[in-house]
Amino acid sequence: MIEFRYDTQLLIEGTGLDENKISDYITEHFKGDCLLVVGDDSLIKLHFHTNEPWLVLEYCSTLGEIFDIVVEDMDRQSRGLKG
């Protein structure tokens, strides 16, 4: 059984972005695993497994423009279905 169902990936474009602050905020406020936040002060790539991807998207949208959003259902994928 998959504990955190949704593989959530996106890009954030903005100014003054801080990958460490974003990573810390997500770790403190959202349940999940496999967090990856990389980039620079104008572009961040985020990858996170969670059961509530809409909350992560909402938070990230407050930081800048979000795009290339992918939310895949890993439970469906594990059963051979489209994610």
Cα-flanking dihedrals φ and ψ of residue 62, to 5°? -80, -15
Check residue 79 and give its pLDDT: 87
Examine residue 36 and state whether it is found in any structural domain, yes or no.
yes
Judge whether 83 lies within some domain. no
Q: Is the pLDDT of residue 83 over 70?
A: no
pLDDT score, position 78: 86
CB pairs under 8 A, 24+ apart, for 52-59?
Answer: 52/6, 53/6, 53/8, 55/30, 56/8, 56/26, 56/30, 56/32, 57/8, 57/10, 59/25, 59/26, 59/29, 59/30
Share of the chain above pLDDT 90, in %: 88
- CATH code of the domain containing 44: 3.30.70.260
pLDDT in tens, 62-82: 999 999 999 999 999 888 887
The domain total for the chain is 1
Domain hosting 18: range is 6-77
**44 in a structural domain:** yes
For residue 1, name the pLDDT band (cuts at 50, 70, 90): confident
Residue with tokens 């999940």: 32
